[in-house]
Structure formats: C-alpha cells, structure tokens
Amino acid sequence: MISTERVHLLIDAGFSFREIVKRLDNIGKKPEDLDAALISHEHSDHVRGLPQAVKKLKIPIYLTAMTNEAIDWKKAQPQREIFQAGQQLVIGDLEIDTFTTPHDAVDPVAFCFHSQGVKLGLVTDLGYIPDSVRLQIGGCQLLVLESNHDLDMLKVGPYPWFVKQRVMSRVGHLSNQAVSDFLTSGFDRDAKTIVLAHLSDNNNHPDVARLFATSALAEAGINDTKVVVAPQNHTTEVFTF
C-alpha cells in the first residue's frame, strides 16, 4: 500500500481479503480507506484476493487490458480503469509511471510513484534488469526490488527442473546475485532505502538476501543506503517521507 495526504492505493491483492484487512489494520488503516487498486500482472500471488476485494470495497481497479482479460473475476464486476504500459497515471495527488518488465505474464508492469517531490519505485517479477527498467528507477528515494531466490538454494531445492528453469530464465525472477550485480554496477546511489521483496520461501532466506545486497553496496563504496528485507508472513515497517 502507498498513501499520500489525499489517496490510499492498494498495490496488487495476492493475499486473501481477510489477510489484506489484517495487514491494513497492522499499519493503522481500514479497507474503507482505500481509494483504488493497482495491478501489476495476473499471476495468482498478485491477484488471488482481488475478486473478493472488488466485491467488498467497490473501488476502481487500474490494470492493463490484457491483464484484465487474464484474470478470473469470479463474477465480480469491478470498475476497471484500463491503461497501457508506458502510460503515466494520475490518481489523486499521485503520479504513477508504468513500465514493462521481462516476466512470463501476459502484460507485466512495474511502477514508480511521484508525490510532493518524492519518487518511490516498486519493481518485482522480472527475470533480469534491462536498461529500460534501470532508466525508470533512477532517482528513487526508496526502491522496492525483487530478490526472489538464491541460485544455489534453487538448484538443490524441491522444485521440478522445469520450474527451476522458468525461475532462472530471463522472464522469471531476480536472484540475489542479479540484485548484487545491479547494486555494484547499475545503481545510481539515490535510494537511501532498498527493500528486498518477493523472497521465495523455499529458495531463499532473508539473511542470505540481505548479505548479498549489503556486501554489494559495501563493494561499491555505498555506506548510506539502508537494506530492509520484506517478510512474507507479516507486515513490513512503514516508510514515511
């Protein structure tokens, strides 16, 4: 969730509606506070709770046309606000840059948010970081970046080989090593907080992901950027600007 003085925006809805309500309560918010939802792509871990949330909340849902078609709405009839990847959205006092990511969904997008001179980036579900994404996330004060798996843990882990190949592919998910490479050679040093997100329960560990990122920052001589690991099983700390 991202909030300003004028708008409260839910980003994806992969949890059940009950869990969404619980996590909102943990940060002092209520479901009725939400003004809209913004959807990155149709995979179940990002939209599982969306049909029920639509029925309960009656808020507009912002998503691309192909993502809309790929979602099983379960007879829910949301107010859909369709956009194209690359389009800038304005929701309340939030300006939102949308851009394509390399992932095996029908039309995956990531986002940068602008309000009152602050820029935040939210980039998950991508197999690698192309130059186009590096350009988009430049100048962020806070960057939420996928650090999905540890390559060694994935290779010896429980997934079938075809799933491992998918995760490691250029339309899969970012590894700890890929994030480390970005921080040592592609990071513009503007973000003072980096949140590592979308960690695999089976193929990663928070301490391992954190070590990769902090070691990369140290190698690059960056000592003023905080690394936070977003857990899957409880609410991450609230960041204010």
Q: What is the pLDDT of residue 173?
A: 98
pLDDT band for 107, please (50, 70, 90 cuts). very high
Q: Which of 73, 88, 103 corresponds to the end of one domain?
A: 88
User: How does the average pLDDT of the chain come out, rounded?
Assistant: 97
Same domain, 147 and 185: yes
pLDDT, mean of residues 82-110: 98
**What would you measure as the largest C-alpha separation in the chain, in angstroms?**
53
How many separate domains does the chain show?
2
Which pLDDT score, from 0 to 100, does residue 232 have? 86
Domain that holds residue 180: 117-231
Domain assignment present for residue 55? The answer is: yes
| pLDDT tens readout for residues 148-207 | 999 999 999 999 999 999 999 999 999 999 999 999 999 999 999 999 999 999 999 999
Q: Are 119 and 139 in contact (CB under 8 A)?
A: yes
For residues 124 and 217, membership in a common domain is answered with: yes
In a domain, 72, yes or no: yes
pTM of the model: 0.96
| 223 and 140 part of one domain | yes
Residue 44 CB partners (closer than 8 Å, separation 6+): 14
